């Protein structure tokens, strides 16, 4: 059974932007390199989903995080792609990292 990779793009550029972001290009390069080892991959742009603020796995109605969370957990390899603005991860990446905090709560013994 081939390995799977899930890449989450935390670019601030909208997905309908004509020009690809640098993060898009880098994630495509990573997945292309993984394909040489028969790894099947998918890139999803976080900004295209309504990720509610919070630190739980599901913040209620309209929260798209549970769908993304399932993809992260189902993948053998998870790649978080993010731009750095003024020495800081993008605001989208910070929101994703806050939501991933629930993973610690769920697995911490």
User: What are the domain boundaries of the chain?
Assistant: 4-107
- Specify the pLDDT at position 108: 62
Can you give the pLDDT at residue 109? Answer: 58
* CA separation for the pair 69, 35 (Å, rounded): 23
Q: Which parts of the chain have pLDDT scores under 70?
A: 108-109
* pTM of the full structure: 0.90
Residue 103 has what pLDDT? 82
CA distances (Å), origin 101, targets 24, 41, 42: 24, 24, 23
pLDDT at 85: 84
Q: Which residues contact 103 (CB under 8 A, 6 or more apart)?
A: none
CATH number of the 4-107 domain: 3.40.50.360
- Number of Cα atoms under 13 Å in the Cβ half of residue 64: 11
Q: What is the pLDDT of residue 1?
A: 82
């Amino acid at each position: 059974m081939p390995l799977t990779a899930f890449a989450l793009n935390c670019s601030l550029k909208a997905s309908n932007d004509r020009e690809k972001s640098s993060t898009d290009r880098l994630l495509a390069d990573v997945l292309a390199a993984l394909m040489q080892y028969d790894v099947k991959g998918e890139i999803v742009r976080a900004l295209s989903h309504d990720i509610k603020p919070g630190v739980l796995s599901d913040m209620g109605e309209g929260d798209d995080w549970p769908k993304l969370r399932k993809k992260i957990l189902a993948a053998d390899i998870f790649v978080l792609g993010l731009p750095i603005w003024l020495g800081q991860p993008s605001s989208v990446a910070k929101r994703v990292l806050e939501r991933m905090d629930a993973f610690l709560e769920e697995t911490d013994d």
